[in-house]
Amino acid sequence: MALRRRGMPLAIALSLLAACASDDGDGPDVPDIAWCEGVASWESEWREDELALLAAINERRAEGAICGSDEVFAATEPLTMDPALRCAARVHSLDMAELGFVGGSSPDELTPSDRAAMAGYEGSVLGQNVAAGHPEVDALVESWMTSTGHCRNLMNAEATQLGAGRYFSEDDVLERQHYWTVVLGAP
């Protein structure tokens, strides 16, 4: 708890700064390339949830965390939203809903790095978290923070960029409706 209380003012300031710096509304959400066409037009609610997810993750990064039973991560710099990683994340969330799976690699065996490269990302992919069934950002982040591997990905100080993809489907095969992907990277 001490990690959470001490870093709260800093967390709020860093989250607001990161959200503003990463999405000024002037640029496209995703690159203007063929592979991203299917996720370029996105519901405004989903887009807002992606930004809220970035802010919530940055708040946790500013606080520091203990992942698992004893892996301590100091507070670290906020992430910025990268359009290519956002495309990769959106494509994966859409695929999970439409193809009926939840996992890091898709049935066509594309990995997070493959999807990022296809979206035009030139940096290194350092991790990916996926989830289904969580309608709210706070509950989603909390579930990732209680999972050692997911927590480790979010707290990785080497990661400086993130792509978030949220997709909602009333008619998905798994009946989970809410699909989320974050891809973390560094240039």
Tell me if 179 sits within 8 A of 185, measured CB to CB. no
Using 50, 70 and 90 to split pLDDT, how confident is the model at 174?
A: confident
Strands (E), 28-115: 65-67, 71-73, 80-81
Q: Which two tokens stand for residue 49?
A: 């949830």
Strand order across the 124-132 sheet: 80-81, 161-168, 178-186, 124-132
**Domain with residues 2-186, CATH architecture:** 3-Layer(aba) Sandwich (3.40)
Place of tokens 């002037």: 26
Phi, psi (degrees; rounded to nearest 5) at 91 = -60, -40
pLDDT for position 26 = 54
Tell me if 163 sits within 8 A of 137, measured CB to CB. no
pLDDT tens per residue, range 8-38: 343 434 343 344 444 444 568 999 999 999 9
What's this model's pTM, rounded to 2 decimal places?
A: 0.85
pLDDT tens per residue, range 118-160: 999 999 999 999 999 999 999 999 999 999 999 999 999 999 9
Give, as one character, the DSSP assignment of residue 150.
Answer: H
Half-sphere exposure for 15 (CA within 13 Å, toward CB): 19
Place of tokens 């494509």: 91
